[in-house]
Structure 1
Amino acid sequence: MVISLRVLLIFSCLLPLTVRASTFGFSWDNDLFVGSDGQYTNGVRISWVGDAHERCDRNGTFTCGLAAALDPLPGISLEDEKHALTLSLEQIMITPSDISREMPDFNDLPYVGYSNLELGLFSWNGNNLFGYGVRVGVVGPDSGAEQSQKVVHKVTGSTEPQGWDNQLGSDLIGGAYFLHAHRLVRYSGRSLESEVGYAWGVDANNFNGTAKVGGFWRIGENLPRNFIPDYAGIGTAGSLVGLFDGEGFGWEIFVASFGEYIGYSYLEEHSGPYDVESRNGILGLVLGGGISLDDFSFTLTLQGSSSPIRKSDDILSFGNMSFMWRI
């Protein structure tokens, strides 16, 4: 039985009411930012991060109860770490290079829509962040990807996609993930600050099962206190953790690189007559910058990587805009 997008939306709206969420984020990927259209064409993520809970060995909240249940896992400590619940709703879409074509081109990519709900717990101290989570989602018409892309293309004046009647699905998606981030160096000068860090994680699911590692360097004034500046990539909702721990106006520019091992690809396993073969892994580069205030933050990033499709030598590139608020 396929869970519809409506159920995911209702659940994502009700759960934040049970916890006093401290951070809200809206993130939008689109390859139109780099002047192309095809492969990974659009993605939207809406995220909540709950208030940080300390001294969970003495605290009986739901967040602390979940932390206690996960305490045997590496990186979870009830006594000397903060803990926060996270919730994200994500939708992505993949299309062939020629979206004006109505009939399938089996030498190109199929239309694929995917929506998923992600629930996680993050624990952190001054230099380390650990996150564990689960996800459930759908591939196919119930993902709502067709309607979303048509709305976006109508607003931006782009070509209307014609081939969604042949999209892959319907299927149920599930999985679990782990993330660890570490601050290596944080240096404060007279006016500028700089930071170097890395992150790695495993996302085991039956849509795009991957293992990923990346490092970053950023420089700016009054840098945000989050552990990962790459809001569109490896960080998921973990990129929002600690974001508003500082005060006042700040800005940042950053560069990051990453490598990703692809253990499972839904496109390869379920593409049928389409000629799709996934690479074993990809390498990528991220450039970005942003500004932050007491209760608002904005970032703009550009990302490029080798194509995850083996027969393609084209660079997979897209841009991202992220808006974050402290609630």
Structure 2
Amino acid sequence: MLKIIRPLFVLILSSVTYVALAEETPLRQNSWGQFIFENDAFGVLEPTDDGYSNGVGYAWGKAPIASFDDIDMPEWVRWSSDWTYINQGDKGNYTLSYAIVQGMFTPSDLDTDQLILDDRPYAGVLLWQVKLRQFDNNIATSLMLDVGVVGPASLAEQTQSLIHGVIDARNPQGWDHQLENEPVFRIESEYLHRFARLALSNQIATDVSFYSQAGIGNLRSDAGFGLTFRVGSGLDETYASINPTASHSANPYGYMSDRGFNWMFYMSAYGSYVLNDITIDGNTFKDSHSVELIHEQGQLSMGFAMRWGSWGILFATLRGSPQHEGQISDTNYGAASISYHY
């Protein structure tokens, strides 16, 4: 994995030499909704059908909002966030978004109904997410909360069976061994700094951003950082939505008020230290199947996004290092989304 990441870092850093930072552009408020579909069969290199197998979700939000006090959000969200670093008053802009996401994790051998001791557990997760973001002068910070459930109550088995039937894939036989029901949560903080930009023409530019995040919870606790390189149009208005992973990717053009044609291509390298991951470690308060977590993890991702009028599409692919001992194939999946802006 390091053989892949090191040259990418050199390429990204070398592109910064002649770059100048861009000025902020006033934005007009824009609402959006987005359907998300992820599947490891869509991986670009050596598609598999294990690990993070399927993901589906719907996200919606409003951007930008000129003041923290103007954000229309539940009182408990305001009470729990107004004393944090997210509340910068009238400085910069804000976004508020929500999402409902479902994830399915399976071992490599889907044809046996026996417990596979040396491979990851069957696990399903159903989450509700709320995310607040503040951005100004090429810097963005965010605060996010995930709450939900792991286990049969997530309905992951039923969703995966339906999806595999539609795409004519193997129907996993081992869901009787999935993790037990357990409430889960995760609190996450993000920091992003777009430190470089180079205009290639009146419409096309490139930029480079540093990204870091840390999260804690029984769902997952980890910290990591990475770099993202982008080329395309509308970059000045969309830098705040950069995320180095394909997972649950939000189309960055949800931030834009312009309904013309815009596009971008991005590449990211990201490394993290994972303290716990319930889908690998097993249930927190009950005995369940588990395997040994690999704490140091790295990943590369690339993707393409575009918007034409009110509609946007995104496709991204991710390839990562092994997440647990004995993992047969590297993490490898693709994500696609379609969004509508109004």
TM-score normalised per structure 1: 0.84
Aligned to 1:50, the other structure's residue is in SS state: strand
Aligned to 1:52, the other structure's residue is in SS state: strand
| Equivalent pair of 1:21/1:48 in contact (CA under 8 Å) | no
Which residue matches 2:105?
A: 94
Unaligned runs of 5+ in 2: 1-28
Change (3 A) 1:233 1:320: closer
| Equivalent pair of 2:229/2:267 in contact (CA under 8 Å) | yes
Aligned partner of 1:136 among 131, 147, 158:
147
| Equivalent pair of 2:65/2:71 in contact (CA under 8 Å) | no
Distance in 1 between residues matched to 2:72 and 2:42, nearest whole Å? 42
Aligned partner of 1:176 among 187, 204, 216:
187
Structure 1 residue 294: Cα displacement: 3.1
The Cα RMSD (Å) is 2.7
1:113 aligns with 2:124: yes
Which residue matches 1:32?
A: 41
1:148 aligns with 2:159: yes
Aligned to 1:108, the other structure's residue is in SS state: coil
Q: Aligned runs of 1:149-298 on 2, under 5 Å?
A: 149-190=160-201, 191-223=203-235, 225-227=237-239, 228-230=241-243, 232-233=245-246, 240=252, 243-266=255-278, 267-270=280-283, 272=287, 274=289, 276-298=291-313
Aligned to 2:237, the other structure's residue is in SS state: coil
Change (3 A) 1:202 1:241: farther
| Equivalent pair of 1:214/1:256 in contact (CA under 8 Å) | yes
Structure 1 residue 39: Cα displacement: 1.1
Structure 1 residue 230: Cα displacement: 4.1
Aligned partner of 2:95 among 62, 84, 98:
84
Identity %: 23
| Equivalent pair of 1:124/1:130 in contact (CA under 8 Å) | yes
One-letter identity of the residue aligned with 1:301: A
| Equivalent pair of 2:63/2:255 in contact (CA under 8 Å) | no
Aligned to 2:143, the other structure's residue is in SS state: strand
Distance in 1 between residues matched to 2:299 and 2:271, nearest whole Å? 6
Unaligned runs of 5+ in 1: 1-19
Distance in 1 between residues matched to 2:71 and 2:245, nearest whole Å? 33
| Equivalent pair of 1:278/1:308 in contact (CA under 8 Å) | yes
Structure 1 residue 283: Cα displacement: 0.7
Change (3 A) 1:246 1:21: closer
Residues 192-245 of structure 1 show CA distances to partners (whole Å, capped at 9, x for unaligned) of: 2111112211121102222121211011244473224448547866x6486324
1:122 aligns with 2:122: no
Change (3 A) 1:67 1:199: farther
Aligned to 1:225, the other structure's residue is in SS state: helix
TM-score normalised per structure 2: 0.80
Distance in 2 between residues matched to 1:60 and 1:170, nearest whole Å? 34
Which residue matches 1:323?
A: 338
Aligned to 2:64, the other structure's residue is in SS state: coil
Aligned partner of 1:48 among 44, 60, 72:
60
Aligned to 1:22, the other structure's residue is in SS state: strand
Residues 116-174 of structure 1 show CA distances to partners (whole Å, capped at 9, x for unaligned) of: 11112211224122111222110111101001100110000111111112211111112
Count how many residue pairs are aligned between Structure 1 and Structure 2.
Answer: 306
